[in-house]
Amino acid sequence: MSLRFHNTLSGRLEEFVPLVSGKVGVYVCGVTVYDRSHIGHARALVTFDVLYRYLKFSGYEVTFVRNFTDVDDKIIARAQQAGISTADLVETNIRSFAEDVKAMGCESPTVEPRATENVDGMIALIQELIDKGLAYPADGDVYFAVDKFRDYGKLSKRKLDDMIAGSRVEVDERKHHPMDFALWKASKPGEPWWESPWGQGRPGWHIECSVMSTKHLGQPFDIHGGGTDLIFPHHENEIAQSEGAKGKAFARYWLHNGMVNIGAEKMSKSLGNFMTVQQAAGRVGGEAVRLFVIGTHYRSPLDFSPDRLDESGRALTRLYETLARVDEALKGEAEAGPAPAVLEEFRTAMDDDLNTARAVGIVFETVRTMNRLLDEGKVDEVGVLRSALKEISSVLGIGGTEAVAFLERSKQDHLADAEIDPAEIENLISQRNAARREKNFKRADEIRDQLKALGIVLEDTPKGTIWKIEKR
RNA sequence: GGCGGCGUACCCAAGUGGUUAAGGGAGAGGUCUGCAAAACCUCGAUGCAGCGGUUCGAAUCCGCUCGCCGCCUCCA
């Protein structure tokens, strides 16, 4: 089966055929860096990270561009509120963004351009639009004339008339049409500004993506991604700007991830009902956040709750405990072999519009199979499954860490949180084993209960007693 | 009002015309164990919001009804 994506432009599933055979250009709208990222951003980041990895896995040479929008109204407002420069605010947030992305195991895009580094290109594009009669200056601002662009609304499937009738549109007598949007804004005192043919000002919201995408990928390019909430007006306006100016197609496949809901309501900064990536990763680890995200198909709504996040943490621990068991049994022996059927199933799932939920199911089916084979002593049959799982992990980004190290780290995190000394645990285990040798099971169980109260569970294995962190 | 989408077991979630409806979490029973834990095995929706229709056959297609959500304003 060939790779297929749901294209927002056509509203249906389409076979993916890149512009240039073997190469793919992907542009994804990154974040506006005015605050920390939350689970909603995490979803977009992880979704398109998986897309990037799967395209590479499928043999494509991929150029992946994800931008930072580092100049806009909110950034200016936040900086003023905090009494710092916009540049400082931006740097702080880009740093924390980098931490979040790293925690979730996302690969670095090929390029991460910033809006403020591309203002010249934006001015040039705006001038082109003015020259073509698609934009007009007004009091130091420049607006795009939506009714001059015939295809306006083709992505979001809206008609200009419907939009005006249905929503409150701010009256602005400088605009020729109520839906006209700003390409350039005259700067007020104290705001960042650039020189332009229309005076000192700064770019509007949508123009930076038109410029940065085509700068690195050309026009047209293959895939443009982002959240569904960007379809209108952001992506619609990108199309208007780029296709209006150049008279040719902008992006060929539009992929949009669904929203994260919390209590059946969209998670968002404005509603204040968000959990930051940092909080979530601190609770269960970034990789579990990632598993939480890919457990649902990217276009479906995803309901967030702390309990569901914890479930993902438990599932991930189960995966790693099996991997640790497998690696111990294989002892680093060669595990190459013919690509087993699971890998084909994985490809089929991913080719079908990135069905990561199904792919995760395949991972856990494999986990169970490997456990069973180990119980039956069929170690050699486990090898090929283990190597298949490694390949799958490299795409999904879960289970890719060295298993023992992962488990050890989550232990250490817990001990640090609970302020427990590992030596104390070992000491109690010794006391308990002494009691057990004397058949003093009452005393032995008391010690076990004592540890359990601290979130430590014991397992008596053939090789002795080991301890683990109780699953939350 | 316009556009788009959703409703599958206790919770989450794949499956979108054809053998026994993936997988995860929680739960029950069993094997193992001093007892546990972990792991494994077994059990769990005769049914996929409801009602009609198309079809040899539908969770899957069509129609209607009910419930829910997103976008239309900054937003991943």
Q: Residue A267 domain-assigned?
A: no
Comparing A9-23, A261-275, A417-431, the range with the smallest average pLDDT is A261-275
Asked if residue A464 keeps its beta carbon closer than 7 A to nucleic acid strand B, the reply is no
pLDDT, residue A158, reads 86
Q: Residue A162 domain-assigned?
A: yes
Percent of chain A with pLDDT over 70: 96
pLDDT, residue A159, reads 85
Beta bridge partners of A141: A138
Asked if residue A328 keeps its beta carbon closer than 7 A to nucleic acid strand B, the reply is no
Separation of A362 CA and B42 C1' (Å)? 21
Residues A194 and A124 in one domain: yes
Residues A387 and A460 in one domain: no
Tens digits of per-residue pLDDT, A71-115? 999 999 999 999 999 999 999 999 999 999 999 999 999 999 999
Q: How far is CA A393 from CA A57, A121, A149, A153, in A?
A: 11, 39, 45, 39
Which nucleotide lies nearest residue A32, CA to C1'?
B75
Q: How much is the average pLDDT of A396-405?
A: 93
Confidence label for A334 from pLDDT (cuts 50, 70 and 90): low
Comparing A169-173, A295-299, A309-313, the range with the smallest average pLDDT is A169-173
* Nearest CA among A146, A154, A178 for reference residue A164: A178
Strand B bases within 7 angstroms of protein beta carbons: 1-6, 11-15, 22-26, 33-41, 68-76
Which nucleotide lies nearest residue A321, CA to C1'?
B38
Among chain A residues 266 through 305, which have CB within 7 angstroms of nucleic chain B?
266-270, 295-297, 300-303
User: Which residue among A262, A281, A299 closes a domain?
Assistant: A262
Residue A204 CA to residue A202 CA, distance in Å, equals 7
Beta bridge partners of A202: A185
Distance of CA A178 to the CA centre of its chain: 35
Q: How much is the average pLDDT of A321-334?
A: 83
Q: Residue A371 domain-assigned?
A: yes
Residues A41 and A190 in one domain: yes
Q: How much is the average pLDDT of A251-275?
A: 86
Q: Are A110 and A104 in contact (CB under 8 A)?
A: no
Residue A164 CA to residue A187 CA, distance in Å, equals 28
Asked if residue A66 keeps its beta carbon closer than 7 A to nucleic acid strand B, the reply is no
Q: What is the CA radius of gyration of chain A?
A: 27
Among chain A residues 226 through 265, which have CB within 7 angstroms of nucleic chain B?
226-234, 257-261, 264-265
Residue A218 in this model has a pLDDT that exceeds 70: yes
Which nucleotide lies nearest residue A38, CA to C1'?
B76
Classify A87 as helix, strand or coil: helix
* Tokens coding A324: 């640790």
Q: Residue A155 domain-assigned?
A: yes
Residues A39 and A182 in one domain: yes
Residue A42 in this model has a pLDDT that exceeds 90: yes
- Pairing of β A23-32 and β A221-227: parallel
Output the CA torsion sign for A307, A34, A105, A115: positive
* Nearest CA among A135, A97, A101, A127 for reference residue A114: A97
Q: Residue A299 domain-assigned?
A: no
Residue A167 in this model has a pLDDT that exceeds 60: no
Q: Residue A6 domain-assigned?
A: no
Among chain A residues 90 through 149, which have CB within 7 angstroms of nucleic chain B?
none
Residues A211 and A336 in one domain: no
Residue A155 in this model has a pLDDT that exceeds 70: yes
Separation of A252 CA and B43 C1' (Å)? 50
Residues A131 and A229 in one domain: yes
Residue A400 CA to residue A329 CA, distance in Å, equals 18
Residue A353 CA to residue A155 CA, distance in Å, equals 19
Q: What angle do CA A206, A211, A214 make, to 5 degrees?
A: 125
> Crossing angle for the helix pair A207-217 and A236-246, nearest 10 degrees?
60
CA dihedral A41, A43, A48, A49 (to 10 degrees): 100
The CATH code of the domain that includes A374 is: 1.20.120.640
pLDDT, residue A103, reads 95
Residues A124 and A196 in one domain: yes
pLDDT, residue A290, reads 96
Higher pLDDT: A279 or A272? It is A279
Residues A71 and A141 in one domain: yes
* Tokens coding A112: 């991460």
**Residue partners of A353: CB distance under 8 A and separation at least 6:** A4, A5, A6, A13, A297, A299
Which nucleotide lies nearest residue A159, CA to C1'?
B2
Tens digits of per-residue pLDDT, A221-231? 999 999 999 99
**Residue partners of A453: CB distance under 8 A and separation at least 6:** none
Asked if residue A167 keeps its beta carbon closer than 7 A to nucleic acid strand B, the reply is yes
- Pairing of β A260-262 and β A302-304: parallel
Q: Which residue has the tokens 């003023």?
A: A80
Residue A27: exposed, middle, or buried by beta-carbon count in 10 A (0-12, 13-18, 19+)?
buried
Which domain does A443 fall in, by range? 420-469
The whole-chain average pLDDT of chain A stands at 91
- Pairing of β A61-69 and β A23-32: parallel
Highest mean pLDDT among A59-68, A145-154, A383-392, A462-471: A59-68
Residues A247 and A338 in one domain: no
Please count the structural domains in chain A.
3
Separation of A352 CA and B58 C1' (Å)? 22
Residues A256 and A171 in one domain: yes
Which nucleotide lies nearest residue A45, CA to C1'?
B76
Residue A376 in this model has a pLDDT that exceeds 60: yes
Q: In what order do the strands lie in the sheet with A135-138?
A: A135-138, A141-144, A181-186, A201-203
Q: Are A248 and A160 in contact (CB under 8 A)?
A: no
Comparing A201-215, A267-281, A330-344, A354-368, the range with the smallest average pLDDT is A330-344
Separation of A168 CA and B40 C1' (Å)? 62
Residue A173 in this model has a pLDDT that exceeds 80: no
Percent of chain A with pLDDT over 90: 72
Higher pLDDT: A445 or A162? It is A445
pLDDT, residue A26, reads 97
**Residue partners of A209: CB distance under 8 A and separation at least 6:** A27, A29, A67, A234, A238
The CATH code of the domain that includes A75 is: 3.40.50.620
Separation of A373 CA and B40 C1' (Å)? 10
Residues A214 and A320 in one domain: no
Tens digits of per-residue pLDDT, A115-124? 999 999 999 9
Q: Residue A288 domain-assigned?
A: no
User: Which residue among A352, A370, A402 closes a domain?
Assistant: A402
Asked if residue A204 keeps its beta carbon closer than 7 A to nucleic acid strand B, the reply is no
pLDDT, residue A392, reads 94
Q: Residue A234 domain-assigned?
A: yes
Tens digits of per-residue pLDDT, A410-425? 888 888 877 888 899 9
Asked if residue A43 keeps its beta carbon closer than 7 A to nucleic acid strand B, the reply is yes
Q: How far is CA A111 from CA A70, A197, A219, in A?
A: 15, 29, 17
Residues A116 and A161 in one domain: yes
Residue A472 in this model has a pLDDT that exceeds 70: no
Asked if residue A8 keeps its beta carbon closer than 7 A to nucleic acid strand B, the reply is no
pLDDT, residue A19, reads 96
Asked if residue A23 keeps its beta carbon closer than 7 A to nucleic acid strand B, the reply is no
User: H helices of A132-276, where?
Assistant: 160-166, 207-217, 236-246
pLDDT, residue A169, reads 59
**Residue partners of A300: CB distance under 8 A and separation at least 6:** A258
* Tokens coding A88: 């400082």
Q: How much is the average pLDDT of A34-62?
A: 95
* Tokens coding A218: 């050309």
